[in-house]
Amino acid sequence: MNYENILISIEDKVATITINRPEKLNALNKATISDLSKAFKLLGKNDDVRVIILTGSGEKAFVAGADISEFANYTIAEGAELAAEGQESLFDYIESLKKPVIASVNGFALGGGLELAMACHFRIASVNAKMGLPEVSLGLIPGYGGTQRLPQLIGKGRAMEMIMTASMISAEEALQYGLVNHVVPQTELLSFTNVIAHKIIKNAPFAINKAIKAINANFADGKNGFEYEIKAFGKCFGTQDFKEGTSAFLEKRKAVFTGK
């Protein structure tokens, strides 16, 4: 499939999606969101892909925000539809994807860009990265899940301050807040992210899928995370990967998982 605004490469079971609008600092427009949505759906079904890395092209920006020119004249209804469609087709989809998605944040992650990074399962940043949700400076609020995911990740008080002041934080502050897991030099960002991706690949795919869903269940309305964990734990016992993992442990060898 041909994409207008993203690049995809697959190597050693790791797919890397690069948002490729460097002249716009990789800003999200409708076409880019559509490209990303299609790519994640295809890669989610690709048995040759075990982990997905999401990053931006160039050295300045992961995603510097939404393309404001597209929605500057929207009505109330159009604005609500924009947020609803984006959340359903991309942001919520990434969060619930059965394969791990790592955001490799290589520069500015602002507005929709930070929301996109937060939808990923965890984040790794380069030292030059800066993050923020500046929507209130435009007379808006975050519309792609930012008011929900940021408090989950860094706490209510810090999220309130970041959103209400429209301030950016540095990569080191993001690390201190727990918004990112690691901060590394930009030249090492993708190689470092790939090392973590391959650590994940060594483990059982079915179990990783269930772990993602169990963790997400704790934050979903109407779901009991503990109950989901119990059921998912039980289902793992019926897999070939469980038999392989326990046999390998008892036989003191490395397990070879198939995802079945």
Instruction: Give the residue from 148, 49, 35, 151 showing the smallest Cα distance to 98.
Output: 49
Check whether residue 58 and residue 96 sit in a common domain. Answer: yes
- Cβ atoms of 242 and 236 closer than 8 Å: yes
Count H helices, E strands: the chain? 11, 10
Check whether residue 77 and residue 30 sit in a common domain. Answer: yes
Query: Measured between alpha carbons, how far is 170 from 207 in angstroms, rounded to an integer?
Result: 34
Q: Give the tens place of pLDDT for each residue, 127-150.
A: 999 999 999 999 999 999 999 999
Q: Give the tens place of pLDDT for each residue, 12-49.
A: 999 999 999 999 999 999 999 999 999 999 999 999 99
Residue 119 forms part of a structural domain: yes
CATH number assigned to the domain comprising residue 222: 1.10.12
Q: Give the tens place of pLDDT for each residue, 219-241.
A: 887 789 999 999 999 999 999 99
The residue-averaged pLDDT of 210-215 equals 96
Q: Strand 61-63 vs strand 108-110: parallel, antiparallel, or unpaired?
A: parallel
SS (H, E, C) 154-188: HCHHHHHHHHHHCCEEEHHHHHHHCCCCEEECHHH
Check whether residue 26 and residue 130 sit in a common domain. Answer: yes
Q: Which active-site residues does the annotation give?
A: 115, 135
Instruction: Give the residue from 31, 32, 97 showing the smallest Cα distance to 62.
Output: 32
Q: Give the tens place of pLDDT for each residue, 149-206.
A: 999 999 999 999 999 999 999 999 999 999 999 999 999 999 999 999 999 999 999 9
Check whether residue 116 and residue 11 sit in a common domain. Answer: yes
Q: Strand 122-126 vs strand 6-11: parallel, antiparallel, or unpaired?
A: unpaired
Check whether residue 44 and residue 109 sit in a common domain. Answer: yes
Check whether residue 54 and residue 82 sit in a common domain. Answer: yes
pTM of structure: 0.95
Q: What is the reported pLDDT for 260?
A: 87
pLDDT at 11 > cutoff 80: yes
- How many CA atoms are closer than 13 Å to the CA of 46, on its beta-carbon side? 19
Residue 18 forms part of a structural domain: yes
Among 166, 185, 201, identify where a domain stops: 201
- The residue range of the domain holding 97 is 6-201
Q: What is the reported pLDDT for 226?
A: 94
Q: What is the reported pLDDT for 66?
A: 87
Q: Give the tens place of pLDDT for each residue, 81-117.
A: 999 999 999 999 999 999 999 999 999 999 999 999 9
